[in-house]
Amino acid sequence: MAQPTTYKVQFLGGAEIKANSEYSAADFSSLFPDGNLFILKTKTKTKNPITVAINKTIGFPIEYNEQTAYDGTTDLIYIFSQDCTLAIGKELALT
C-alpha cells in the first residue's frame, strides 16, 4: 500500500491582505524569511469565494485552509479579490 508524503508546518505569523492589492513572493519572504507557504484563514460564502490571480491571470477560487507554496525568489505577483488573512508558515521534514 502506498504511503502518503507527510510533513509538518511551522507557523511563523500572519498577514492581513487587502483586496485587489499586489503582493509578491518577495514581499512574503521579507516579512518571514524562513517562510515558504501561506494558508488562507478567512472563511467566505460559497457564492462569493475569494479568488487569487497570479501574475494578473484570471483569478481562481482559493478555499479556507488551502495551502499555497511560494519560493520567495520568483517574481510571482498575487492579487486577492477580497480582504483576507493569511497564515505564513514553513514546511518542515518529519524527523
pLDDT tens track for 63-75:
999 999 888 777 8
Cα dihedral 42, 50, 79, 20, rounded to 10, equals: -90
Which helix (H) or strand (E) segment is 29 a member of? helix 25-31
Taking only the tens place, the pLDDT of each residue in 35-87 is 999 999 998 877 889 999 999 899 999 999 999 988 877 788 999 999 999 99
Query: Are 93 and 7 spatial neighbours (Cβ–Cβ below 8 Å)?
Result: yes
Residue ranges of domains in the chain:
12-93
Identify the band that residue 95 occupies on the pLDDT scale cut at 50, 70 and 90.
Answer: low
Q: Which fold has domain 12-93?
A: Jelly Rolls (2.60.120)
pLDDT at 30 over 80: yes
